[in-house]
Amino acid sequence: MVTETERDDMTWYQCEECGLLFDSEADAERHEENCTSDDDPSYLQ
């Protein structure tokens, strides 16, 4: 799930699975579709 968070007067979109922040909701949603959250360190966007 992607959640909105405000930081530095900007709205960020955070992947709840792995905690990555995106400045674009579309990017966050696209990431989240592919986020496995199975602690694979080799996978970073």
Distant-in-sequence contacts of 20-25, Cβ < 8 A, 24+ apart: 20/44, 20/45
Residue with Cβ nearer Zn ion (13 or 15)? 15
- The tokens of 30 are what? 């696209």
For residue 35, count other CB atoms closer than 10 A to its CB.
Answer: 17
Among 2, 14, 15, 22, binds Zn ion (CB under 5 A): 15
- 29 lies in the binding site for Zn ion (CB under 5 A): no
* Smallest distance, Zn ion to C-beta of residue 8, A: 21
- 18 lies in the binding site for Zn ion (CB under 5 A): yes
**Which residues here bind Zn ion, judged by CB under 5 A?**
15, 17-18, 35
